[in-house]
Structure formats: C-alpha cells, structure tokens
Amino acid sequence: MHDGKDFALDPRLAGDTHFVGDLQLSRVLLMDDTRFAWLILVPRHANLRELTDLDIATQQRLLSELNRCAHAMQSLFTPDKLNIAALGNVVEQLHVHVIARHMQDAAWPRPAWGFGEREPYAPDARDTRLDALRRALEISGA
Amino acid sequence: MHDGKDFALDPRLAGDTHFVGDLQLSRVLLMDDTRFAWLILVPRHANLRELTDLDIATQQRLLSELNRCAHAMQSLFTPDKLNIAALGNVVEQLHVHVIARHMQDAAWPRPAWGFGEREPYAPDARDTRLDALRRALEISGA
C-alpha cells in the first residue's frame, strides 16, 4: 500500500522518534527514549484522529500490524506486560503505542506517558535497536 | 456466548466499577469515577493477560465491541478525544479502557490512570448513567 494521499507525519511524532519502517498500513516508529522499549504505529492515511475514523477492514489491518509488533516486542524484550494504547491527548494524529513494560522500569506500574524526561539513544545503541526491530518485524528501514 | 469456563472478574476491577452489561465476548463495566466517562471491557475468557493471548477471530470480536463502545461514548459524551488502551500494569486480567476525554477534565492532557482519587457516583447519578449507557449500547444490565 502506498501512503495515503496527503499523509504527513505529525512533526512532534517525527521529532520524538526514529523511523523503523513501513508496514502495509502503518509507519512504525521507535520512541527515542532508552528507558522503555516503545514503538508507535501511525496509519498512513491523512486526517485520522480516532480509531473509529478507520473503516472496519482497515482497523483489522491495524490490529494485524499491532499483533506483529506485539510479538516482536515479546520476542526481543520479554516484557512483564505490554501496554497497547491509542491516546492522542497531546498529538492528535491517530497513533498507537506498543510499549514493553518491565517491573523494574522507571515508571512501573504507572503509565510511561508524561513520565519524567526522555533519555535519547546514543547513535550506536539506536542503530543496534533499529536493526533488531527490523529483523524481528521483517521490514526494511529503506 | 456464555462465559468462558472458569472466567472470574478480577476483584479489583469489580470493586472499582459498576456492571453495565455483557456483550457477546466482553463484560462492560463503568469506572466508579464521576470525573471521567470511563468504560472497561473484559473479555470473558479465563487466564487472559495480553491481547495476543486471544486468537485473531476473538481479537476481531473485541475490536468490534470496542467500536460499539466508542460510538456509544461519542454519542453520549462528545469527547474531545477517546483514550483506548490495554495496560494491565496493576490488574493483570486482560481489560481494555475506553475513556471519553475532554479538554476540561481533571487530568487533561495527562492520562487518567492513577490520577488523583476516584470520585464515586451517588446512587441516582450512577443509575442514570448506567441506563444511558445500556440504551446506547443496546444491552440489558440483567
């Protein structure tokens, strides 16, 4: 699937993340925060805010891609719990978080959103993580 | 669909909510907190923790029920944003939040989870809200 006409990634999402790759529907992003293994999926259609803005077939495609990301996160990070959430109180563009949470992580058991300050990846750690995610998701970063 | 064998609602979920009704898969609960219009869906199968514990057909059923709840919330409360999330850091039993958020609500734009103290409904307000939700969802509370 090509990008939907007029799709443009929200600049705040772009600024807080690294590009992992594109699935059929969704752009997959890595939150630039070493405290959490944290993906964000953004369906590449213009003018989406709510899950209910997608027709049911496209929602099912998103669900399938969420499963793919969830399994990759479980395989790579063996989380104690996945947090899967579409919030959008700050960034309106529809996006879904998939966060691998651990009982030892900085925010546990609180939500990761708005918790303290991001701790950006150093370039080598970022590249290592992106490579691992692309392999687990079987997508290219091109 | 009857309840899955050995399904039992987590006692913390039961203690924090009022029973709205049962959809085909999910029990629908109202968070006992007047600060937010807040539903929780609990798939009635035993021993679920993660979305990925459900097969894809059952996930699609859950997605359908989430749509039904989302549309009911949009119709009743005209939220500025829906928050739809499966977290489970505190209560392990798989449950999905559908929260109608408003820019004027107590926690905006922060997440509602763990924010301040619940403000329980008075009995009349609770019954009025439960009736409205059951009508919008077309379910009985029996």
Question: What pLDDT sits at residue B2?
Answer: 57
- pLDDT beyond 80 at B42: yes
Is omega for the bond preceding A109 within 30 degrees of 0, making it cis? Answer: yes
Q: In angstroms, rounded to a whole number, what is the distance separating the alpha carbons of residues B91 and B14?
A: 11
> Mean pLDDT, chain B, as a whole number?
96
pLDDT digits (tens, 9 = 90+) for A83-125: 999 999 999 999 999 999 999 999 999 999 999 999 999 999 9
Band of residue A142 on the pLDDT scale cut at 50, 70, 90: confident
- Count CB neighbours of B110 within 10 A: 17
Query: Which residues of B fall below an 8 Å CB-CB distance to A?
Result: 49-52, 56, 59-60, 63-64, 66-67, 70-71, 74, 81-90, 92, 101, 108-111, 113-114
- pLDDT beyond 60 at A19: yes
The interface pTM score, or ipTM, of the predicted complex is 0.96
pLDDT digits (tens, 9 = 90+) for B58-79: 999 999 999 999 999 999 999 9
Share of chain A above pLDDT 70, in %: 98
- CA distances B37 to A56, A65, B7, B17, B70, Å, are 24, 29, 26, 12, 11
Q: Which residues contact B104 (CB under 8 A, 6 or more apart)?
A: none
Amino acid present at A11: P
The reply to whether residue B109 touches residue A101, judged by beta carbons under 8 angstroms, is no
The reply to whether residue B83 touches residue A89, judged by beta carbons under 8 angstroms, is yes
Residues found in chain B: 142
Mean pLDDT of B2-20: 91
Backbone angles phi, psi at A107, to 5 degrees: -105, -15
- Identify the closest residue of chain A to B93 by CA–CA distance: A81
Q: Which residue among A59, A86, A111 sits closest to B87, beta carbon to beta carbon? A: A111
Share of chain B above pLDDT 70, in %: 98
Beta strands in chain B (DSSP E): 17-22, 26-31, 37-43, 81-86, 96-101
For residue A136, give the H/E element and its range: helix A123-137
CA distance B95 to chain A (A): 11
Mean pLDDT of B11-36: 98
- CA distances A88 to A91, B82, B117, Å, are 5, 8, 23
The reply to whether residue B52 touches residue A64, judged by beta carbons under 8 angstroms, is no
Band of residue A5 on the pLDDT scale cut at 50, 70, 90: confident
- Quote the pTM value: 0.96
Question: What pLDDT sits at residue A141?
Answer: 82
CA distance B28 to chain A (A): 18
The reply to whether residue B70 touches residue A87, judged by beta carbons under 8 angstroms, is no
**Residues pairing with B37 in the sheet:** B100
- pLDDT beyond 70 at A82: yes
Contacting residues of A for B41, CB less than 8 Å apart: none
Classify residue B51 by its DSSP letter: G
The reply to whether residue A86 touches residue B84, judged by beta carbons under 8 angstroms, is yes
The reply to whether residue B114 touches residue A110, judged by beta carbons under 8 angstroms, is yes
- pLDDT beyond 70 at A2: no
- pLDDT beyond 80 at A1: no
Query: Which residues of A fall below an 8 Å CB-CB distance to B?
Result: 49-52, 56, 59-60, 63-64, 66-67, 70-71, 74, 81-90, 92, 101, 108-111, 113-114
| Pairing label, strands B26-31, B37-43 | antiparallel
Mean pLDDT of B76-86: 98
Q: Which residue among B63, B81, B92 sits closest to A60, beta carbon to beta carbon? A: B63
pLDDT digits (tens, 9 = 90+) for A40-55: 999 999 999 999 999 9
Question: What pLDDT sits at residue A57?
Answer: 98
Domain covering B11-137 in this structure, CATH number: 3.30.428.10
Mutation choice for B interface testing from A64, A80, A89, A94 by most B CBs within 10 A: A89
Q: In angstroms, rounded to a whole number, what is the distance separating the alpha carbons of residues B132 and B86?
A: 24
Task: Give the residue extent of every domain in chain B.
Answer: 11-137
The reply to whether residue B110 touches residue A109, judged by beta carbons under 8 angstroms, is no
> Mean pLDDT, chain A, as a whole number?
96
Question: What pLDDT sits at residue B109?
Answer: 96
